[in-house]
Amino acid sequence: MGQVTIYLDDETEKKMAANARVMNLSKSKWIANVIREKLVDDWPDTVRELPGSWEDFPSLEILRAGTGADTDREAL
């Protein structure tokens, strides 16, 4: 298991410690949970179900109508 040393300003440390106490976790476990939450690389089911769920959402053609033609892009 790896170890990491972090430095927090006093106000952030107080908030973190208070939150860890409320959740009945050590500071180390609280920080590890926050890091795990930030590293999630999968979209929740609720997000994956969104595309196409709006029946009255305008089509791509309607959204692009009246915007004019794209300018030519330079070759890479």
pLDDT digits (tens, 9 = 90+) for 7-26: 999 999 999 999 999 999 99
What are the residue ranges spanned by the domains of the chain?
10-64
> CB within 8 A of 27, min separation 6: which ones?
16, 17, 20
Between 67 and 12, the more confident residue is 12
Residue 58: left (phi > 0), alpha (psi -120 to 50), or beta? beta
Residue environment code for 25-60, b if the CB has 16+ CB neighbours within 10 A, otherwise e: eeeeebbeeeeeeeeeeeeeeeeeeeeeeeeeeeee
Q: Report the distance separating Cα 32 and Cα 23, nearest Å.
A: 13
Note the pLDDT of residue 17. 97
